Amino acid sequence: MTTTDSTGQTGQSGSPDSAGPTNWASIEAIADAVRVCTKCRLHSDRINAVPGDGSPVASILIIGEGPGFNEDQRGLPFVGRSGKLLDELLATVPLSRDDVFITNVVKCRPPDNRDPLPDEVSACRPYLERQMELLDPKVIVTLGRHSLLRFYPEGRISKDHGKILRWGDRILFPLYHPAAGLRNPAVKRELERDVLRLPEALRESLMTPGQRATPIGQANTTSAPGSETPTSVDAEISGTEEVDKKRFETVIENELVEEKGERQLGLL
Ligand code: SF4
């Protein structure tokens, strides 16, 4: 099927194999392709693919790991309890879903909410890459460990959450997954504190190179996501803070293991 976007450009929807990975002319054309995609095994158990939702001109792109039970049922991202917490967090900034675009690394629910496998992430990559090209977001907010690793393989969510990281011409802003916040009040407090920096991340993204506190690192905006090394625009933390953070990291690592168990039970 040929689609036409608001600029009059045409593109193909439907099977990505017939359309090529970068031909979609609009966010909706990508969504059409995702809904009929059979490029990886995850298509076989899905009820609905979840292409993403939100403003097609958003400056902020929020990326989770993959759809869960509720998302699979409705074909929309973050519609369960985690989604409600995400809405509450955004409202404190204040932002709503109409101000952002929300999607996932993989667009179909992994069975039992397991982690997406590398070949599934790879098969789904063209959709996310094209969404990023079309949206051209200033700030990419990753939710949880797996979404962060997608962009920053050396990253650690327990260390990097809430940091404003420069990633090419964009800002990478890692947050804990809201599901972890639902399980652990300490993580929720971190989330609530971190999200308050989102306006600062957006401001940083709008700075010209001469205005930036820290020069851009090795990032290259034309290379594939995951091949770049973000640089922090934050000051180094003190030794005392480092000790406190290490204690907290241990709690969080345990929390993530427990969280996965509950997700597999479909509780989050
Ligand atoms: S997860 Fe992505 S690549 Fe796999 S079937 Fe769904 S849309 Fe296609």
Question: How many helices and strands in the chain, by DSSP H and E?
Answer: 11, 9
pLDDT at position 21 is 53
Q: Is 177 exposed, middle or buried (0-12, 13-18, 19+ CB in 10 A)?
A: buried
d(CA 187, CA 54): 26
Is the CB of residue 62 less than 8 Å from the CB of residue 102? yes
pLDDT at position 209 is 72
Our answer on whether the CB atom of 170 is closer than 6 Å to any ligand 1 atom is no
Our answer on whether the CB atom of 120 is closer than 6 Å to any ligand 1 atom is yes
**For 94, which DSSP code?**
T
Q: Which of 108, 114, 125, 129 to mutate to test the pocket of ligand 1 (most atoms within 8 A of CB)?
A: 108
Q: Which of 117, 124, 146 to mutate to test the pocket of ligand 1 (most atoms within 8 A of CB)?
A: 124
User: For residue 132, how far is its CA from the centre of ligand 1 (angstroms)?
Assistant: 17
Q: Is 165 exposed, middle or buried (0-12, 13-18, 19+ CB in 10 A)?
A: buried
What is the position in ligand 1's atom list of the atom closest to the CA of 66? Answer: 1
Q: Which residues are bridge partners to 139 per DSSP? A: 60, 171
Q: Quick one: which of 74, 30, 77, 73 has its CA closest to 53? A: 77
User: For residue 125, how far is its CA from the centre of ligand 1 (angstroms)?
Assistant: 9
Please give the chain's pLDDT, 268 residues, in tens: 333 333 333 333 333 444 455 689 999 999 999 999 999 999 999 999 999 999 999 999 999 999 999 999 999 999 999 999 999 999 999 999 999 999 999 999 999 989 999 999 999 999 999 999 999 999 999 999 989 998 999 999 999 999 999 988 999 999 999 999 999 999 999 999 999 999 999 999 998 777 765 533 333 333 344 445 677 666 443 444 444 445 445 444 544 544 454 444 333 4
Name residues whose C-beta falls within 8 Å of residue 65's C-beta, 6 or more positions apart in sequence.
104, 105, 106, 115, 116, 143, 144, 146, 147, 177
User: For residue 151, how far is its CA from the centre of ligand 1 (angstroms)?
Assistant: 19
Residue nearest to atom 6 of ligand 1 (CA): 108
Is the CB of residue 239 less than 8 Å from the CB of residue 159? no
Q: What is the pTM of this model?
A: 0.79
Q: Quick one: which of 102, 115, 103, 212 has its CA closest to 168? A: 212
- Given the DSSP bridges, would you call strands 60-64 and 139-143 parallel, antiparallel or unpaired? parallel
3-state secondary structure (DSSP) of residue 73: helix
Our answer on whether the CB atom of 43 is closer than 6 Å to any ligand 1 atom is yes
User: For residue 15, how far is its CA from the centre of ligand 1 (angstroms)?
Assistant: 11
Q: Which of 18, 24, 30, 34 to mutate to test the pocket of ligand 1 (most atoms within 8 A of CB)?
A: 34
User: For residue 34, how far is its CA from the centre of ligand 1 (angstroms)?
Assistant: 7
51-264, what's its fold? Answer: Uracil-DNA Glycosylase, subunit E (3.40.470)
Q: Which of 18, 32, 39 to mutate to test the pocket of ligand 1 (most atoms within 8 A of CB)?
A: 39
Angle between helix axes 27-35 and 118-135 (nearest 10 degrees) is 160
User: For residue 46, how far is its CA from the centre of ligand 1 (angstroms)?
Assistant: 10
User: For residue 120, how far is its CA from the centre of ligand 1 (angstroms)?
Assistant: 7
